[in-house]
Amino acid sequence: MNPATTEFLRQRFTDYYKKTVLVAPSSLEQREWGFVLFNPHSDAMRMRRHVGFSCRDELFEYIKNLIPQHTYYSTAYYEKPDAGTMSDKGWCGADLIFDLDADHIMRGPYDLMLARVKEETEKLIAMLIDEFGIDPKTIELVFSGGRGYHVHVKDIAFRGWGSTERRELIDYVCGIGIDPAAMLSGKILPTPSWQTRYHEALLEYFRWIGNLTDEEAIAHLTAIEGIGKESAATFLKKRDEIVRDIERHPTRMILKHRVINAILSRQDGEFKKRLLSRAALADEPVTTDTKRLIRMPTSLHGGSGMRVQPLELRDLPDFNPLVDAVVFSLRDVRVDLIHPLTMSMLGSTYELQKGINTVPEAVAVFLCCRGMAEIT
């Protein structure tokens, strides 16, 4: 990022912070804060952290004077949040946090990645409410300003949980460590659960096999370790019967079937893909980390120039980050683009060529923050 681009972004961020009404997290005085500053002489992110504030006015004044590129606060509560070492801070607990990042889910055009990660976020919230009984009033939802969403659970019941308890929860959410025998035991209840999802994925997979030609089905099954051509052919002859048995009352007895056991034991492949499509693909290290720094809602994301946008749960289905989290104007700005690209923002699609382009300010900020362009 050259000095002209850095200055352009810093001016735009300054205008935003002068005009906007910032929102501070709860228990602000127990939070550690971290800031990454605009640095025209380095592409490395250097964080100023171990900062503490006693009140909102002090925090807001600090931000408006500093004009950070990125603003973070701790999900943990500390006795001395501004202590210079983690051991001296005095950990008092931490919010339960889920981070859903499109980069961990798929690659593709930015708008499609944002749409995909929204689906995962909706699945996660449904799990937390319907399967864990978490009160929706304790869930705070935030668009990260970049490629996904942060889900904060502020229920005090989770505050004292360590990494081990949080690991069990995120494993459930992500569908990690599912035991086929447990999934095929007992009566399937009508309420949402992994047992229900497993049953649905299994039937879907077997029906998919039934729609293949015999040659395709044999080729698919024999590609799985432990399944030979003769076993595959025998299985296909009994597939309809197996499907009916699973529909009526699936039991762990089907694991004694060599072909089925090989399918369900495989850690990848078509069945696993269908099963994990029913998981919520959250970032596991974020949830297990009890001392995490996370972006401050209402701040700006220094990698996109978009607002870290707090949301009501009911607003998520209609939320469009490329419209609703964009804070800059439509005035023309000239940028020098590193490579051609097509991007959507503010309801329009822009076909941009390598080299000099005139784009709306909001697009220019985004491209410069992402390192895709420089100010001419």
Let me know: does 101 contact 147? Beta carbons within 8 Å: yes
Please give the pLDDT value at position 161: 96
Q: Which two tokens stand for residue 6?
A: 């850095």
Let me know: does 118 contact 131? Beta carbons within 8 Å: no
DSSP state at residue 103: G
pLDDT tens, per residue, the chain with 376 residues: 889 999 999 999 999 999 999 999 999 999 999 999 998 666 666 889 999 999 999 999 999 999 999 999 999 999 999 998 999 999 999 999 999 999 888 888 999 999 999 999 999 999 999 999 999 999 999 999 999 999 999 999 999 999 999 999 999 999 999 998 888 876 777 788 999 999 999 999 999 999 999 999 999 999 999 999 999 999 999 899 888 888 877 666 777 888 999 999 888 899 999 999 999 999 999 999 999 999 999 999 999 999 999 999 999 999 999 999 999 999 999 999 999 999 999 999 999 999 999 999 999 999 999 999 999 8
Q: Which two tokens stand for residue 318?
A: 């209609």
Please give the pLDDT value at position 373: 96
Q: Which of 363, 347, 299, 372 is nearest to 150 (CA)?
A: 299
Is 336 considered catalytic here?
no
Q: Which of 57, 37, 64, 61 is nearest to 49 (CA)?
A: 37
Please give the pLDDT value at position 244: 86
Q: Which of 108, 258, 245 is nearest to 184 (CA)?
A: 245
Please give the pLDDT value at position 181: 87
* CB within 8 Å of 281: residues ≥ 6 apart: 100, 104, 105, 120, 174
Let me know: does 150 contact 295? Beta carbons within 8 Å: yes
Q: Which of 76, 108, 74 is nearest to 92 (CA)?
A: 76
How far from each other are the two terminal CA atoms of the chain, in whole angstroms? 12
User: In this structure, what are the phi and psi dihedrals at residue 141, rounded to the nearest 5 degrees?
Assistant: -110, 135
The single residue of 283, 315, 324, 332 carrying the catalytic annotation is 283
Is 283 considered catalytic here?
yes
Please give the pLDDT value at position 249: 72
The single residue of 99, 135, 171, 336 carrying the catalytic annotation is 99
As a residue count, the chain comes to: 376
List Cα–Cα distances, 52 to 38, 239, 279, in angstroms.
Answer: 21, 63, 37
The single residue of 43, 101, 214, 268 carrying the catalytic annotation is 101
* CB within 8 Å of 137: residues ≥ 6 apart: none
Is 99 considered catalytic here?
yes
Please give the pLDDT value at position 250: 66
List Cα–Cα distances, 231 to 216, 226, 237, 243, in angstroms.
Answer: 15, 9, 10, 17
